[in-house]
Amino acid sequence: MSEAGTPDGGLDFETLEAVLPRFTGAGPRYTSYPTVPVWKPSFPESDHARALSSCGRTGEVSLYAHIPFCRSLCHFCACNRVITRDSDLPERYLSAIGQEIQTTRSSVEGTPQCIQLHWGGGTPTHLKAGQIERLFRSMTDSFPLAPDAEVSIEVDPRVTDEDHVRALAECGFNRISLGVQDTNPDTQAAIHRIQPFELTRALTEMARNAGIPHINYDLVYGLPHQTEASFSRTITEVLSAEPDRIALYGYAHVTWVAKQQRGFERIDLPDPRLRIRILLQAIRQLVGAGYRFIGLDHFAKPDDELCEAFDSGTLRRNFMGYTTLDGVDTIAFGPSGISELPGAYVQAQKNLSDWFDRVEGGRLAPDRGIWLSRDDEMRRWIIRQIMCRGRLRASEVESRFGGSYQVDFEQAIDGLREIEKEGVLVLSPEGDLEVTSLGRLFLRNVAMAFDAYLEPAAEGGARVFSQTV
Ligand code: SF4
C-alpha cells in the first residue's frame, strides 16, 4: 500500500467521501481463506489429529484460548459467549480446557515453542486471578513460552480489577486490549454496556503501572445514537489515554447470528450515509493525531510492532484481526476456537455443552473445518498479500505456484479493472496490483475478486457476511 505512514495518512477525504457509498455491500473480513461459511460441517476428529501432527514444524506455534463467559450481554455483540454468574462453570471449564490442552499436545510432534499467546472471548477476565494463573500454566507447561513471546489478552474494564492486572503482569502478559466501543452514555445505554471512560482510563493506568507495556483499545462505529459529534468526542477521550493501537470496527448488523440486535431496528442506528461520515471523521482524527492507518480497521502509533510488521511485510491477518508473525501455525483451545494448521483450518464445537462432552471424554472437539486445495492455498496467499501488504506481483504468484497468473486469474483481473476506475487501486498491464491510499478502506472489496467461493456462498445464504464498510 502506498503512503501508509504519511502524517495525514495520504488520504484525500473528499474523494473518499464520494467513493465510499459505492463500496457498501456485504463481504468477508478475510480473517481466513476459504472463509468459515464454506468450511465442511462435521470435520472428522482423525483429520483434526492429522493436521495437528504436522503443526509446529518450524519449532514455533501461536496459541489461542477462548474464554466464553460474560457477566451480561452487550446488545451489539455477535461473539460466541455464555452469559453467566455461575461460579462453578469457570471451574469446570478450567478442568476441561486443561484436558483439551493435554489431548492436543499428545497429537503434536516435537515440542514447539509458543511465540505468541492470545486469550479472547467472551471475557477472559471473567476468570478470577488464580484461575488466570492456572490456565496460563496449563498452556505454557505444554508449549514452553519463548522469552520474547507476544502475550496478549482481551479485557472488559467493567470486570477487571487490580488482582487481575497483577496476575496478568506476573504471568507475563505484555499487551492488553480493552473493549471500549463508544464512550457516549446514550450509545452505552442502547447497547447495554455502561462503562464510564474513567473506568477505562483507570485500568489503562493500572496496567501500565503494573508493567504491561502495550495497550490496545477496541472501538465500534455504526452503533445506535452515534453522530459525527458524539463519536468525535469518543475519539478525543480515547486519544487522551494514548493507546498504542486502536481497532475501529464497523458494527456488524447480523441478526441471524445475534438475535438481540433486532432491538436496534427500532431505535437509532445511523443510516448508511451517517455511518460513512462517522467513519471518515474518526479516520481523520486518528491520522491527524499521528496514528498510522494500517489498513481496513487498524491504527497504530508509528513505533508499534504492527507498523514494523507492516513495513517489513510480516503483517498477518487471522481470527484475531491484524497481528505480527506471519507464517506461524495457530492452535486454539476452548469452545469455537479456530486453529490454523498446516493445510487446514479447524473450528472447535461452539456449544459449551457439546465442547464439554468431547474434551472431558479425552477427545478433540472439531466441529467445522476444511483441508485447503492447491487452488485455496494460492488464493489465500494472494488475498493475504492484498489484506496485509496492499499489493500483489504477478511474478511472485507464478514463482510460488507456477502457471500463468494472467490466464488463471483473467476474470479477477477484469473485475479489478472495473474498480480501478474508482481510484482504489492501480493495475499494471501484467496484472500487478497496488492498492492506493484511498483503497485502504476497501481491501475486502479488492480481495473479493479472488474469492472462488463467494457466489456459491451468497446463493446458499445471502445473509452470510457483514457490510464491508
Ligand atoms: S462485547 Fe464482550 S463483554 Fe459484551 S457480550 Fe460480547 S464478548 Fe461479552
CATH number at residue 56: 3.80.30.20
Q: How far is the CA of 458 from the centre of ligand 1 (A)?
A: 28
Q: How far is the CA of 194 from the centre of ligand 1 (A)?
A: 12
Strand partners, 371: 344
State which of 314, 333, 352 marks the end of a domain: 333
Question: Do 5 and 120 fall into the same domain?
Answer: no
Residue closest via CA to ligand 1's atom 6 equals 77
Ligand 1 nearest-atom number relative to CA 179: 2
Ligand 1 nearest-atom number relative to CA 156: 3
Cell 505456484 belongs to residue: 401
To test the ligand 1 pocket, which listed residue (66, 73, 75, 81) has its Cβ within 8 A of the most ligand atoms?
Answer: 81
Q: How far is the CA of 172 from the centre of ligand 1 (A)?
A: 24
Q: How far is the CA of 214 from the centre of ligand 1 (A)?
A: 21
Q: How far is the CA of 79 from the centre of ligand 1 (A)?
A: 7
State which of 274, 301, 333 marks the end of a domain: 333
Strand partners, 250: 221
pLDDT score of 460: 41
Q: Are 272 and 24 in contact (CB under 8 A)?
A: yes
CATH code, domain with 403:
1.10.10.920
Q: Which residues line ligand 1 (CB under 6 A)?
A: 70, 73-74, 77, 79, 81, 121-123, 156, 179
Question: Do 216 and 123 fall into the same domain?
Answer: yes
3-state secondary structure of 85: coil
Question: Do 210 and 303 fall into the same domain?
Answer: yes
Q: Is 128 a member of any domain?
A: yes
Question: Do 26 and 78 fall into the same domain?
Answer: no
Ligand 1 nearest-atom number relative to CA 81: 7
To test the ligand 1 pocket, which listed residue (123, 195, 220) has its Cβ within 8 A of the most ligand atoms?
Answer: 123
Q: How far is the CA of 396 from the centre of ligand 1 (A)?
A: 41
pLDDT score of 183: 98
Q: Is 400 a member of any domain?
A: yes
Question: Do 109 and 230 fall into the same domain?
Answer: yes
Question: Do 274 and 395 fall into the same domain?
Answer: no
Q: Is 358 a member of any domain?
A: no
Q: Is 319 a member of any domain?
A: yes
Tens digits of per-residue pLDDT, 310-340? Answer: 888 888 888 888 888 777 899 999 999 999 9
Copy the grid coordinates of residue 205.
493506568
Question: Do 192 and 324 fall into the same domain?
Answer: yes
Copy the grid coordinates of residue 400.
510460488
pLDDT score of 282: 95
- Residue 292 CB coordination number (10 Å): 24
Question: Do 145 and 182 fall into the same domain?
Answer: yes
Strand partners, 118: 64, 152
Backbone torsions φ then ψ of 467, nearest 5 degrees = -60, 140
Which domain does 169 fall in, by range?
A: 35-333
3-state secondary structure of 52: helix
- CA 260 to CA 75: how far, in whole Å? 6
Task: Give the total number of structural domains in the chain.
Answer: 2
pLDDT score of 212: 98
Question: Do 222 and 132 fall into the same domain?
Answer: yes
Q: Is 347 a member of any domain?
A: no
Question: Do 447 and 316 fall into the same domain?
Answer: no
3-state secondary structure labels for all residues of 58-100: CCEEEEEEEECEECCCCCCCCCCCEECCCCHHHHHHHHHHHHH
Ligand 1 nearest-atom number relative to CA 193: 4
Residue closest via CA to ligand 1's atom 7 equals 122
Question: Do 79 and 20 fall into the same domain?
Answer: no
- Residue ranges of the chain whose pLDDT lies below 70: 1-11, 266-267, 455-469
Question: Do 24 and 45 fall into the same domain?
Answer: no
Q: Are 139 and 63 in contact (CB under 8 A)?
A: yes
pLDDT score of 465: 65
Determine whether 49 is exposed, middle or buried from the number of CB atoms within 10 Å of its CB (0-12, 13-18, 19+).
Answer: middle
Q: Is 185 a member of any domain?
A: yes
State which of 278, 308, 333 marks the end of a domain: 333
Q: How far is the CA of 364 from the centre of ligand 1 (A)?
A: 26
Report CA-CA distances (Å) from 308 to 6, 338, 348, 385: 15, 26, 32, 16
Q: How far is the CA of 122 from the centre of ligand 1 (A)?
A: 6
pLDDT score of 233: 98
- CA 469 to CA 462: how far, in whole Å? 17
Residue closest via CA to ligand 1's atom 4 equals 74
3-state secondary structure of 442: helix
Q: How far is the CA of 72 from the centre of ligand 1 (A)?
A: 8
Q: Is 230 a member of any domain?
A: yes
Strand partners, 295: 298
- CA 88 to CA 105: how far, in whole Å? 26
CA trace torsion 223, 22, 465, 186 (10° rounding): 0
